[in-house]
Amino acid sequence: MQDLKNKIQSKQIKIGVIGLGYVGLPLACEFAKADVEVLGFDISSEKVDLVNKGISYIQDVKTKDLEKLSTSGKLKATTNFSLLSSVDVISICVPTPLRKTKDPDMSYIAASIESVKTSLRKGHIIILESTTYPGTTDEVILPKLEETGLKVGEDFYLAFSPERVDPGNETYHTHNTPKVLGGVTSDCTSLCEAVYKLAIDNLVLVSSARSAELVKIYENTFRSVNIALANEMVTICNKLDIDVWEVIDAAATKPFGFMPFYPGPGLGGHCIPIDPSYLSWKLKSLDYDARFISLADNVNSGMPELVVQKISNALNGNKKSVNGSKILIAGIAYKANINDMRESPAIPIIQKLIALGATVSFHDSLNPMYKDNNDVVLQSVELSPATLKDQDCVVIVTNHKDMSIETIVSNAALVVDTRNATRGYSDTNIIKL
């Protein structure tokens, strides 16, 4: 083992990253920047070609940086998974979505493990980064790999280290975000720690892979539950005729015992809307009902419907119905200043409005096209005064920094604001969440 650790510390290793998406590509780039040879694997030939040409398709990875790494030969990509045998470390960064029943879809992890199993050899280090339920590494991955006859902690090393990616965050990136790590054995933890130390500033070691798996889900369950409380405060404040934003901001002045969370049109991104359901599913198999998680999910998933009801009520106040109205959605990413539409609440809002007979358009400078599973295709329109004046209602779903709120308020006949973007404006045509 010491020889392997020395090899890692001297950077005489090759790292393979399976899945070149929002998690995998930034991680691959960090290792390559640390002067470690990296080979990325993906089933998408388009992504592989772009990486090899040095063209970034991920907002947090600059094309000039990727081009430099690609040109230097430190970072290459392939669709040939048989080349996993040529790398020393394999980091698995594939999607872990939910099925419609909110059961975990483990198909991407399962496919990756089958590829790893085929290429597994002595000295291999395997690290799962994909968010999953506690027990996945020990109960699903380990038995599969040991079917080869190789033993964990002796012949190969296995750990879990959850991704912590916040798209668009200008302060915290892959290298300076503390990284949690838990190995199946102590030797697994030690070797994986040595690997990550090559590119990550701060590591947080926990006692097991199972603990590391739960850390990730707890982080996002914490956010989901507290956002749900903020979202429920919307209904409470509406019934009491109180400004929910004023209440939260005033409460946030307390220097202890309070952390502000803010309401919105619904949850978005790959983590918060999905991860808590992984834990809830796992606990059902242990005959336990995670009531907080279920309640939070019910509140948060109901927010798009609440927004549509707000729009309907606002139009009714102007003696109009949703059916036949022109409604413009301002911002369709799941949060401000990113081009990530995964699980964006704008999507169900658009779908519900179209189903009610509205003529829907949208503006989003970072997402020029919208396409849903019903083959509805929309192209982003400009937020020009003429366009805004032609709408019966403008709905602010995501407030990008280049979006002129003043232009919206000055020209739109009716504004439904789900993000408190119009704070400071007292116009009577503004309806807040």
Q: In the structure, what pLDDT confidence band is assigned to residue 376 with cuts at 50, 70 and 90?
A: confident
Q: In percent, how much of the chain has pLDDT > 90?
A: 89
**Helix axis angle, 209-240 to 303-317, nearest 10°:** 20
Q: In the structure, what pLDDT confidence band is assigned to residue 319 with cuts at 50, 70 and 90?
A: very high
Over 80: is that where the pLDDT of 373 sits? no
| Predicted pLDDT of residue 269 | 87
Which residues form the domain of 69?
A: 2-207
- Domain-terminating residue out of 249, 271, 298: 298
Dig out the tokens for 290 from the structure. 């995670």
Over 90: is that where the pLDDT of 99 sits? no
Over 80: is that where the pLDDT of 296 sits? yes
d(CA 332, CA 365): 10
Minimum mean pLDDT among 309-323, 369-383, 398-412: which range?
A: 369-383
Q: Are residues 170 and 57 in the same domain?
A: yes
pLDDT in tens, 58-86: 999 999 999 999 999 999 999 999 999 99
What is the arithmetic mean of pLDDT over 118-139? 96
**Dihedral class, residue 313 (left if φ above 0, else alpha if ψ from -120 to 50, else beta):** alpha
Q: Are residues 171 and 266 in the same domain?
A: no
CATH number for the domain harbouring residue 345: 3.40.50.720
d(CA 380, CA 325): 18
Write down the mean pLDDT value for the chain. 95
pLDDT in tens, 5-30: 999 999 999 999 999 999 999 999 99
- Domain-terminating residue out of 298, 328, 354: 298
Minimum mean pLDDT among 64-73, 374-383, 390-399, 401-410: which range?
A: 374-383
d(CA 56, CA 61): 6
Q: Are residues 50 and 121 in the same domain?
A: yes
Beta bridge partners of 359: 326
- Domain-terminating residue out of 207, 235, 265: 207
**Dihedral class, residue 195 (left if φ above 0, else alpha if ψ from -120 to 50, else beta):** alpha
Q: Are residues 137 and 257 in the same domain?
A: no
Q: In the structure, what pLDDT confidence band is assigned to residue 271 with cuts at 50, 70 and 90?
A: confident
Residue 272 amino acid letter: I
207 vs 154, 178, 287, 313, CA distance in Å?
18, 16, 25, 53
Whether the Cβ atoms of residue 345 and residue 266 lie closer than 8 Å to each other: yes
CA-based end-to-end distance of the chain: 58
Q: Are residues 227 and 268 in the same domain?
A: yes
Strand 369-371, strand 377-379: pairing: antiparallel
Q: Are residues 260 and 335 in the same domain?
A: no
pLDDT in tens, 218-244: 999 999 999 999 999 999 999 999 999
pTM of the model: 0.92
DSSP state of 267: -
Let me know how long the chain is: 433
**Dihedral class, residue 375 (left if φ above 0, else alpha if ψ from -120 to 50, else beta):** left
d(CA 384, CA 362): 12
| Predicted pLDDT of residue 93 | 97
d(CA 131, CA 369): 28
| Predicted pLDDT of residue 158 | 98
Q: Are residues 341 and 424 in the same domain?
A: yes
Give exposure, 309-348, as e/b (b: 16+ Cβ within 10 Å).
Answer: ebbbebbeeeebebeebbbbbbbbbbbebbbbbbbbbbbb
d(CA 68, CA 46): 19
DSSP state of 85: G
Q: Are residues 193 and 227 in the same domain?
A: no
What is the arithmetic mean of pLDDT over 280-284? 91
| Predicted pLDDT of residue 67 | 97
Q: In the structure, what pLDDT confidence band is assigned to residue 109 with cuts at 50, 70 and 90?
A: very high
The counts of H helices and E strands in the chain are 16, 15
Q: Are residues 273 and 309 in the same domain?
A: no
Residue positions annotated with a catalytic role: 271
Over 90: is that where the pLDDT of 124 sits? yes
| Predicted pLDDT of residue 76 | 98
CATH number for the domain harbouring residue 238: 1.10.1040.10
Whether the Cβ atoms of residue 131 and residue 162 lie closer than 8 Å to each other: yes
Over 90: is that where the pLDDT of 104 sits? no
Q: How large is the C-alpha radius of gyration of the chain?
A: 24
Q: In the structure, what pLDDT confidence band is assigned to residue 216 with cuts at 50, 70 and 90?
A: very high
Q: Are residues 291 and 307 in the same domain?
A: no
DSSP state of 167: T
DSSP state of 83: G
| Predicted pLDDT of residue 72 | 96
Residues 6+ apart with CB under 8 A from 232: 299
Domains: count for the chain: 3
Residue 15 amino acid letter: I
Q: Which of 333, 368, 395 is nearest to 167 (CA)?
A: 333
Q: Are residues 293 and 322 in the same domain?
A: no
Note the helical H segments in 85-133.
107-119
Dig out the tokens for 228 from the structure. 């749900």
Q: In the structure, what pLDDT confidence band is assigned to residue 133 with cuts at 50, 70 and 90?
A: very high
Give exposure, 240-251, as e/b (b: 16+ Cβ within 10 Å).
Answer: eeeebbeebeee
Q: Which of 357, 344, 262 is nearest to 312 (CA)?
A: 357
| Predicted pLDDT of residue 102 | 80
| Predicted pLDDT of residue 374 | 74
Q: Are residues 248 and 372 in the same domain?
A: no
